[in-house]
């Protein structure tokens, strides 16, 4: 397979892949619109313009996110990916507004469609390209934990279903002569991509607000900690946050008070290693405290 989620392949590679695909589908969908004069197909073409702008933004932000940590950004630049998905969500809102405006105008003054068969064939090819690209980006985004790739993949899949709906509707217009159906399906496209844009911006908002790791990941962490609790080690003040492709975990580790520093440190190293093995790419911070000391229990609450 030419494009795969190989960890050694830069994520920017996939952004370029998405850009090329967007250029091809824009050309195809624009041709389909020009052939038919369908506002539904025009709305589909406008959404592909958003795909191109989003892919360009993703390329820029992935370049920033890939930068290693430095003194000014000790936790890295991975949150830059959220800006790409936020911009994509904003662009979707703009596209939906343009689509709705054009559709309402056509609903008021309907026009007959032309060369429907040829236009739909071209549009179907564009939808197939988007489907293939979306599957590649989604698989890679999940394996590599990249919100930018996942956001672009979900948007492309939305585009695919939009194209399918438009193709069916335009075919129905050609078969029945119901001209009002063309702008109505364009309005449905606008509503659909608005919902997609809202979900993208919501996810970006959660990421920028340092939301905790998903429940499944937290359960994995607790499974690791439970293995050490069986040998007399306690834990509290577990904190997690997601920053696009990076996960950050902090936890206080309470060991018997008569342990030496060396023994306690050795236990912490094992705990960190096992958490990182369970959640690849996680950054783990542990804090050693003596079990049974009242001072060790003053920092359990979230405001400490």
Model pLDDT for residues 89-128, shown as the tens digit of each residue: 777 777 777 777 777 877 787 777 777 778 888 888 988 9
Q: Domain 11-208, what architecture?
A: Up-down Bundle (1.20)
Closest CA to 212 of 121, 302, 100: 302
Q: Residues near 4 by Cβ (< 8 Å), separated by ≥ 6?
A: 140
Equal fold, 11-208 vs 215-297: no
Give this prediction's pTM: 0.58
pLDDT at residue 187 above 60? Answer: yes
Please provide the DSSP assignment of 195-226 as one string: HHHHHHHHHHHHHHTTPPPPHHHHHHHHHHHH
Query: How far apart, in whole angstroms, are the C-alpha atoms of residue 41 and residue 29?
Result: 7
> What fold characterizes domain 215-297?
Alpha-Beta Plaits (3.30.70)
Model pLDDT for residues 164-177, shown as the tens digit of each residue: 877 887 788 777 77
Q: Which residue has the higher pLDDT, 137 or 147?
A: 137
Say how many CA atoms lie within 13 Å of 107 toward its Cβ: 13
Confidence category of residue 1, pLDDT binned at 50, 70, 90: very low
Q: Which residue has the higher pLDDT, 265 or 109?
A: 265
pLDDT at site 6:
56
CB 134 within 8 A of CB 160: yes
Q: Which of 44-53, 104-113, 285-294 has the highest mean pLDDT?
A: 285-294
Q: Which of 34-38, 198-202, 293-297 has the highest mean pLDDT?
A: 34-38
Point out the least confidently predicted range of 32-46, 62-76, 124-138: 62-76
Q: Which residue has the higher pLDDT, 62 or 100?
A: 100
Domain boundaries, the chain: 11-208, 215-297
* Residues counted in the chain: 304
Point out the least confidently predicted range of 27-36, 131-140, 241-250, 266-275: 241-250
pLDDT at residue 302 above 70? Answer: no
Model pLDDT for residues 242-252, shown as the tens digit of each residue: 776 678 899 99
Q: Which residue has the higher pLDDT, 285 or 112?
A: 285
Question: Percent of the chain at pLDDT above 70?
Answer: 91
Mean pLDDT over the full length of the chain? 80
């Amino acid at each position: 397979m030419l494009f795969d989620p190989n960890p050694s392949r830069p994520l920017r590679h996939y952004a370029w892949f998405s850009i090329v695909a967007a250029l091809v589908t824009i050309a195809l969908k624009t041709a389909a619109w020009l052939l038919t004069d369908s506002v539904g197909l025009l709305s589909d073409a406008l959404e592909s313009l958003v795909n191109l702008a989003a892919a360009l933004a993703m390329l820029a932000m992935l370049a920033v996110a890939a930068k290693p940590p430095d003194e000014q950004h000790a936790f890295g630049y991975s949150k830059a990916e959220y800006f790409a998905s936020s911009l994509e969500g904003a662009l979707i809102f703009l596209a939906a507004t343009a689509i709705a405006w054009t559709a309402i105008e056509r609903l008021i003054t309907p026009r007959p469609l032309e060369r429907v068969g040829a236009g739909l064939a071209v549009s179907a090819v564009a939808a197939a390209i988007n489907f293939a690209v979306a599957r590649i980006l989604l698989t890679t985004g999940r394996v590599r934990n990249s919100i930018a790739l996942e956001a672009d993949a979900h948007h492309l899949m939305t585009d695919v279903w939009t194209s399918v709906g438009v193709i069916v509707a335009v075919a129905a217009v050609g078969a029945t002569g119901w001209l009002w159906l063309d702008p109505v399906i364009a309005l449905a496209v606008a509503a659909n991509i608005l919902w997609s844009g809202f979900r993208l911006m919501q996810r970006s908002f959660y990421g920028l607000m340092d939301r905790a790791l998903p429940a499944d990941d937290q359960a994995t962490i607790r499974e690791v900690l439970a293995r050490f609790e069986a040998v007399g080690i306690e834990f509290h003040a577990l904190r997690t946050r997601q920053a696009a492709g990076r996960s950050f975990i902090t936890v206080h580790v309470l060991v018997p008070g008569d342990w030496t520093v060396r023994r306690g440190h050795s236990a912490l190293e094992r705990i960190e290693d096992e958490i990182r093995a369970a959640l690849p790419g996680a950054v783990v911070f542990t804090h050693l405290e003596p079990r049974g000391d009242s001072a060790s229990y003053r920092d359990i609450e979230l405001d400490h």
